[in-house]
Structure 1
Amino acid sequence: MFKGILLSISASCLFGLVYYFPVLLRPLSVVEIFCWRLLMSCPAIAILITFEKRWDAVLSLLKKIKRNPLFILAILFSSSMLAIQMLIFIWAPLTGKALSTSLGYFILPLMMVISGRFVYKEKFSVYQRVAITLAVLGVIYELWTTGAFSWETVVVALGYPIYLIFRRELGLDGIEGTFSDFFCIAVACAIYLCTQYSAAEIKMQFVYHPVAIPMLGVITAIAFAAYFVAAKLLPLGLFGLLSYIEPALLAIVSIVLLHETISPDHIWTYVLVWSAVCLLMVEGLVYTIRSISRRKYIREIKDNL
């Protein structure tokens, strides 16, 4: 279990590092950084699949496409949704929107809970009901004070649940779905670079950041690898609890490294949303402790038999 915890924390730290990376890649544009990130990450994801010996899953997906060619449209739609999220992840630190985007990642777990209730008919616990109430109050306060909710916050908070539900419904929620999404986006990025820039210009982009560009891809792949392995090693409750480290790190990066500040008009929105997140963390902690105690109790019974 210690290994799983270490991997989960490492993944969150690496994603937090990637959040700051666009600043290091100036003067490249958002789209250029996005393209290089995908082009460097896709081969690393392929290496991960090789290491995990999961090419059979990718081959099964290809056979599924062969039986139903229209399924490629679903894959393209899935990759498009992921591309939007990854673009925002790069765009936010470069445009002073890192903090509002990190708020979307704080709200995301709440939206996943709500999605589970309405899409999969899952029941709310007491903790979840109170957390959702606090989050809704935060949204209402934001709308009341500013007249609008930051669009990047909304896109992150709503976009990922839609993306994940779509993948799950189509059976693309495994490593093969991740590879197909990264592959499709990488192909689009390669086409964009080749049609918009000359070979010399592309070479200059890479030469200008000969270390940072490959590192961006490597860090992204390692973060995903650590995330997937941790998901296998840890109990669901503990894994969900540790997932809150990432948005917390994104907020820290936004404030400490990118020097963004919380406007007085938004303070109560953050207080309400973060309070809701803390409740979900408490629920996850309680669930994890109970699960560990239950397994220990069962093990003791078996040892005494």
Structure 2
Amino acid sequence: MNQVRRGYLYGLGAYGLWGFFPLYIRLLKPAGPIEILAHRVVWSVLFVALLLAAARNWRFLLNLRRRPAALAGVTLAAALIGVNWGTYIYGVNSERVVETALGYFINPLVVVLLGVFALGERLRPAQWVALGIGGLAVVVLTVDYGRLPYLALTLALSFGGYSLVKKRLGLPAAEGMFVESAVLALPALAYLGWLVWHSDSTFGHVSAGHTALLMLAGAATAIPLLLFAGAANRLTLTALGTLQYLAPILQLVFGVLVFHEPMPPARLAGFALVWLALVVFTLDGIRQVRRSRAALLAATPEPAAATAVR
């Protein structure tokens, strides 16, 4: 199997697992959203620590200690991903899976906006059109919901900000996740201890299966991220950008068909506008990649011409 096919398998695995997350999180009831988040953090630290111990890769911690700016960046990344995880868990357990799916559909457009405001990037006309359509979609959905779709916007903004910080840090997947989870581990452990002290913890008090599922939250968090890292190292950004829609599509399907959440015509129209924006955005990205490749080929001398020069 060549590396590109392996990259597609890794990408499908990562986004497929993320797409099935609503089913997993629903199984964690009656644990509340914050308790689930705390367990996700604590077991993630333990799971990734085992991976790093097996690989004997702890030197990065020493290097990170000498980089205070990187440590501050990791802390910010941890806060953003903590907000993202907590918002998503709350959305799923409050029967708003459709709105959480919307957040991950909007996310690529938010990343583009962050590129403009944080990195000074210039947008192509088609990208501005996509953003305009996306903004119109938010207006339509706001009218439908009777409020801003704040869960979707929080998910999109927090994950977009997390992606921006991670891009600047450049840490490997497992090492970065370990440090981020470690930053969140102390408040997570404190909250779990508080629940035990007040006899409100569900861990070990519901069933053996429920306890096992809470403990598996670390693996369920880390494995898709590691698969994603494997895909990112083997695929182009265009290929990754296309695959990323798999997760919210699955989440939307589960929200409507499995959890029977409402999808009135106005809400469907809002989603249709989001999908139109993503089609414009994706096609523009594909066209830009093709133009770049054509320009590169045109600038590369042919072998015969190169020989003649020598």
Partner of 1:203: 204
Partner of 1:121: 120
Q: Is the 8 A contact 1:40 1:214 kept in 2?
A: yes
Partner of 1:271: 272
Partner of 1:93: 92
What CA distance in whole angstroms lies between the structure 2 residues aligned with 1:289 and 1:47? 42
**1:106 and 2:109 aligned:** no
Displacement of 1:292 in angstroms is 7.5
Q: Is the 8 A contact 1:135 1:273 kept in 2?
A: yes
Partner of 2:137: 138
Q: Is the 8 A contact 2:138 2:149 kept in 1?
A: no
What CA distance in whole angstroms lies between the structure 1 residues aligned with 2:10 and 2:65? 31
Displacement of 1:45 in angstroms is 2.3
What's the RMSD between the two structures over aligned residues? 3.2
Displacement of 1:220 in angstroms is 1.8
What CA distance in whole angstroms lies between the structure 2 residues aligned with 1:301 and 1:204? 71
**1:78 and 2:81 aligned:** no
State the one-letter code of the partner of 1:204: H
What CA distance in whole angstroms lies between the structure 1 residues aligned with 2:292 and 2:250? 27
Q: Is the 8 A contact 1:206 1:213 kept in 2?
A: no
Q: What is the aligned residue count? A: 300
Q: Structure 1, residues 158-200: CA drift from partner, whole Å, max 9, x if none?
A: 222233334545x365434332211122232122112320598
Q: Is the 8 A contact 2:107 2:160 kept in 1?
A: yes
Partner of 1:218: 219
What CA distance in whole angstroms lies between the structure 2 residues aligned with 1:143 and 1:213? 35
Partner of 2:27: 24
What CA distance in whole angstroms lies between the structure 2 residues aligned with 1:105 and 1:77? 20
Q: Is the 8 A contact 2:65 2:71 kept in 1?
A: no
Partner of 2:152: 153
Q: TM-score, normalised by structure 2?
A: 0.83
Which residue among 6, 11, 14 is the counterpart of 2:9? 6
Q: Structure 1, residues 226-258: CA drift from partner, whole Å, max 9, x if none?
A: 011111111122122212222222212212222
State the one-letter code of the partner of 2:44: S
Q: Secondary structure at the match of 1:149?
A: coil
Displacement of 1:264 in angstroms is 2.8
**1:39 and 2:38 aligned:** no
Structure 1 unpaired stretches of 5+: none
Higher mean displacement: 195-204 or 87-96: 195-204
Structure 2 unpaired stretches of 5+: none
What CA distance in whole angstroms lies between the structure 2 residues aligned with 1:302 and 1:178? 46
What CA distance in whole angstroms lies between the structure 1 residues aligned with 2:56 and 2:13? 23
What CA distance in whole angstroms lies between the structure 1 residues aligned with 2:27 and 2:301? 53
What CA distance in whole angstroms lies between the structure 1 residues aligned with 2:258 and 2:301? 49
Partner of 1:237: 238
Displacement of 1:51 in angstroms is 6.3
Displacement of 1:79 in angstroms is 1.8
Higher mean displacement: 13-22 or 220-229: 13-22
Higher mean displacement: 254-263 or 210-219: 210-219
State the one-letter code of the partner of 2:138: V
What CA distance in whole angstroms lies between the structure 1 residues aligned with 2:304 and 2:189? 58
Inter-CA distance 161–8: structure 2 relative to 1 (3 Å threshold):
same
Partner of 2:229: 228
Displacement of 1:281 in angstroms is 2.7
Inter-CA distance 26–268: structure 2 relative to 1 (3 Å threshold):
same
What CA distance in whole angstroms lies between the structure 2 residues aligned with 1:185 and 1:216? 15
What CA distance in whole angstroms lies between the structure 2 residues aligned with 1:212 and 1:303? 63
